[in-house]
Structure 1
Amino acid sequence: MRKNILIIGASSGIGKALASVLTDEGHALWATYHRHEPSTQANTQWVRWDAVNEAFPDDFLPDILHAVVYCPGSIALKPFQRFTPQDFINDYQLQVVGAVKALRAAQAALKKAESAAVVLFSTVAVQTGFPFHAVVAASKGAIEGLTRALAAEWAPTVRVNAIAPSLTDTPLAAALLSNEEKKKANAQRHPLKRLGNAEEIAQAAAFLLSDAASWITGQVFHIDGGMSSLKI
């Protein structure tokens, strides 16, 4: 079945990889970008949107949506005492309030589909505490709460799930993976001894959007190379 799918942040990283997977499957995409100019892609309508500072452009959406994916994120890492309260607010605006804006705008179109799905993104740092991750863990912890609350409220017609990756090799993580030494060191922290990549996370998201996942909702999936559950 050809689906109408909205991807927020589809021009880079996991969002870009997911857009490629979904268009290859024949779906129609409505996609947003901010800093990264999108490449031309079949069956995709683009709009520029600043999730922090702008209202969502409601007139951009089709009448019926079968899925929404919210991909924008940030990785701000430093000691807690160096974060200000405003740092927490700024990160929450991007990672949580931005998602709320998109989902509020899309809700009516999602409800018109017989069966719809939402995928949000958390992080391994919510359930597994890491130093210097206070800001990102706080925002993504809110995303996990939002995932479960909306899954309950929007059932049975809209499924809502989240993916919690560990560090993946994407432009968002470029500062942490800026050379081979850093990449090797971060890879060794994972039981599988390598970093994840955007395509692997995108495939997991595509599955959660598909009819094959029609009995899955309210879940947070740890796609993290074993980081959250294994010690070896």
Structure 2
Amino acid sequence: MSDKYIIFGATGSIGSSLAKKLKDSGRDIHLVARNEESVQQLASQLDSAYTVADVLENNFIEKVKSDIPEAKGLAYCVGSIDLKPFRMVKEQDLNNCMKLNLYSAVEAIKGYQESLKKNKGSIVLFSTVAAQRGFTNHAIIASAKAAVEGLTVSIAAEFAPNIRVNCIAPSLTNSKIAEPMLKNKVLAEGIAKAHPLKRLGEGQDSAALAKFLLTDESSWMTGQIIAVDGGRSKLS
């Protein structure tokens, strides 16, 4: 049995936090990211294997599988923040967002479906609070992430009882992709105050749950969409 845990988007805020938590708990990890310098640095820090691959490229999964043929767990921590007024949304915007967040996640899962089944594995996907809570200018990303939630429950049903599939829906998290929004301190403080817990998310907030869902600690959980959002989806 392979006990490797693959993290796509491993150099992001959540992906890197998850990698550290898995490594600290004695798990064997494999990092996947598109920026060679960043993933090399993280891999060196964690003494782990890695693959440089861009999920937007065709056949990216073959490149990853040539380095790591089997897996026990797969976390697709890739994401984007695509914000536009609806009147400015173009078909290409939707296509690009769906490719990054949904289609490539599907390819990653299909690539490891058989080994995950053999290893009684687990898959963790990522959505957003905006998929179920309406926010202005979020039509592109909310549509794509709502599709990820639909994928989660569909394949959780199809893959049971051999592979568990769950999804985490964070609110805004301190990260590289959120930097354009958060560099405005007034805006960042306003967003933080919109959460009942009065702060923005950190990578480790979602990573702690992702580690739980990836491992056998959560062996009786599948098909769940779980919010890690400072209470924003339910209380504000």
TM-score tier by shorter-chain length is over 0.9
**1:16 corresponds to which letter in structure 2?**
S
Which residue in the other structure is 1:53 paired with? 57
For the aligned residues, what is the CA RMSD? 1.5
Gaps of 5+ in 2: none
Residue 210 (structure 1) shift: 2.0
2:4 maps to 1:27: no
So what's the TM-score if we normalise by structure 1?
0.94
**2:66 corresponds to which letter in structure 1?**
D
The 5-angstrom pairing of residues 1-232 of structure 1 reads 3-35=3-35, 37-38=38-39, 39=41, 40-55=44-59, 56=61, 57=63, 58-63=65-70, 65-113=71-119, 115-231=120-236
Residue 43 (structure 1) shift: 4.7
Conserved? CA contact 1:2–1:28, under 8 Å? no
Task: For 2:176 and 2:233, locate their aligned partners in 1 and report how far apart those are by CA, in whole Å.
Answer: 23
Conserved? CA contact 1:160–1:217, under 8 Å? yes
Task: For 2:181 and 2:92, locate their aligned partners in 1 and report how far apart those are by CA, in whole Å.
Answer: 23
1:74-121 CA distance string (max 9 Å, x none):
1011101111111000110000011011111111211121x2110000
Conserved? CA contact 1:2–1:27, under 8 Å? no
So what's the TM-score if we normalise by structure 2?
0.93
Aligned residues: 229
**2:93 corresponds to which letter in structure 1?**
D
SS where residue 168 of structure 1 aligns?
coil
SS where residue 206 of structure 1 aligns?
helix
Task: For 2:90 and 2:74, locate their aligned partners in 1 and report how far apart those are by CA, in whole Å.
Answer: 32
Residue 171 (structure 1) shift: 1.1
Higher helix share: 2
